[in-house]
């Protein structure tokens, strides 16, 4: 039993001695996000010194080489004098970065306009910068740019904006104009008058909001199932005034004229002189009596006499 304890104690001492003597190992290449390179960045097995700073990182998006002499000088200042150089004469240090471009900045402005309620559903904004910024490399961040202030004048569409950029103390000021558009329904192809519109007849295209305000924009619900009032060309903007309820009976259609009184129903053949949507009045020629009567369209090919009771001969 004593022998077993002695062996265990010896192994424990050997392991602790090995761990204590394990030196940090220099890395050949590192990539950092912070502005300062630490011992933990430069070395494997950095131990308790891992968070100690060594030197400044290169600029975001750039790479530099640090020679072994500079590494020894930096580590000596914090008391790290013994480490494994891993056969290296220098270390390649890269700084991670994020990119800020016009698209990102325009998206931030668009988000702000939506939050204010200036941009509604089916609306988009196109930013025209007076001095378009070049792509900017900033510190690696989940939020590389933040919109700090936006001044927008709807009357003339101009704006001025200030952004803060990750890792940079100097703000970015931009100005320009904003073109706001709304998705509006247009005809996908030329169609004749009377065509009942289906969803595939309509394509949504952007329309400047000023033009939309002046001409009016119809919703799909106001168009699908409605009939074109006139022959229309490909790409025409569709407005509510361009459509109407489809005719249930068209001019010159042969129809059945219904007259109902109590349990009695009388039918006779006729021909429409005018057209009408379902539930609307029209003029019909009784083909038997050759008289023109007033009726109401009740279904395709069917009308109903809505006047006071009349004689069979009168029909």
Instruction: Indicate whether 21 pLDDT > 60.
Output: no
| pLDDT at residue 260, as a whole number | 85
DSSP conformation class of 57: P
Classified by CATH at the fold level, domain 247-305 comes out as: SH3 type barrels. (2.30.30)
* pTM of the entire predicted model: 0.66
Classified by CATH at the fold level, domain 21-95 comes out as: eubacterium ventriosum atcc fold (2.60.480)
Classified by CATH at the fold level, domain 182-244 comes out as: Type Iii Antifreeze Protein Isoform Hplc 12 (3.90.1210)
User: What percentage of residues in the chain have a pLDDT greater than 70?
Assistant: 90
Q: What is the pLDDT of residues 233-270, one digit of tens each?
A: 999 999 999 999 888 898 999 999 999 887 888 999 99
Residue spans of the domains in the chain: they are: 21-95, 100-181, 182-244, 247-305
| CA distance readout (Å), 156 to 11, 68, 280 | 82, 61, 47
Instruction: Indicate whether 30 pLDDT > 50.
Output: yes
Tally of CB atoms within 10 A around 130: 11
State in Å, rounded, how far the first CA of the chain is from the last one: 126
Q: Tell which residue, 53, 64, 61, 56, has the closest CA to residue 92.
A: 64
Q: What is the pLDDT of residues 283-305, one digit of tens each?
A: 999 999 999 999 999 999 999 99
Q: What are the DSSP calls for 101-120, one per residue?
A: -HHHHHHHHHHHHHHHTSS-
| pLDDT at residue 84, as a whole number | 95
- Residue written as token pair 């004689």: 311
Tell me the average pLDDT across 66-74.
96
The span from the CA of 167 to the CA of 145, in Å, is: 10
């Amino acid at each position: 039993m004593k022998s077993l304890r002695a062996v265990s104690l010896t192994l424990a001492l050997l392991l602790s001695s090995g761990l204590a003597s394990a030196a940090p190992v220099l890395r050949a290449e590192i990539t950092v996000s912070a502005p300062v390179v630490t011992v933990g960045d430069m070395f494997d097995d950095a131990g308790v010194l891992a968070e100690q700073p060594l030197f400044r990182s290169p600029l975001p998006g750039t790479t530099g080489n640090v020679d072994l002499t500079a590494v020894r000088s930096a580590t000596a200042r914090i008391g790290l004098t013994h480490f494994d150089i891993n056969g290296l004469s220098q270390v390649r240090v890269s700084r991670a970065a994020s990119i800020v471009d016009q698209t990102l900045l325009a998206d931030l402005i668009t988000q702000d306009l939506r939050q204010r309620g200036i941009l509604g559903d089916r609306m988009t904004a196109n930013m025209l910068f007076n001095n378009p910024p070049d792509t900017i490399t900033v510190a690696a961040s989940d939020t590389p740019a933040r919109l700090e202030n936006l001044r927008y004048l709807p009357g003339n569409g101009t704006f001025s904006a200030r952004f803060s950029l990750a890792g940079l103390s100097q703000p970015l000021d931009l100005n320009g104009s904003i073109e706001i558009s709304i998705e509006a329904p247009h005809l996908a192809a030329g169609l004749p008058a009377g065509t009942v519109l289906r969803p595939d007849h309509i394509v949504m295209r952007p329309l400047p909001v000023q033009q939309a305000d002046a001409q009016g924009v119809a919703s799909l619900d106001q168009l699908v199932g409605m009939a074109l009032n006139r022959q229309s060309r490909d790409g025409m903007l569709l407005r509510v005034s361009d459509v109407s309820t489809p005719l249930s009976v068209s001019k010159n259609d042969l129809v059945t004229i219904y007259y109902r009184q109590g349990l009695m129903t009388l039918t006779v053949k006729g021909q429409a002189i005018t057209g009408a949507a379902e539930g609307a009045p029209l003029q019909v020629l009784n083909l038997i009596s050759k008289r023109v009567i007033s009726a109401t369209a009740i279904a395709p090919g069917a009308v109903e006499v809505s006047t006071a009771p009349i004689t069979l001969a009168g029909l």
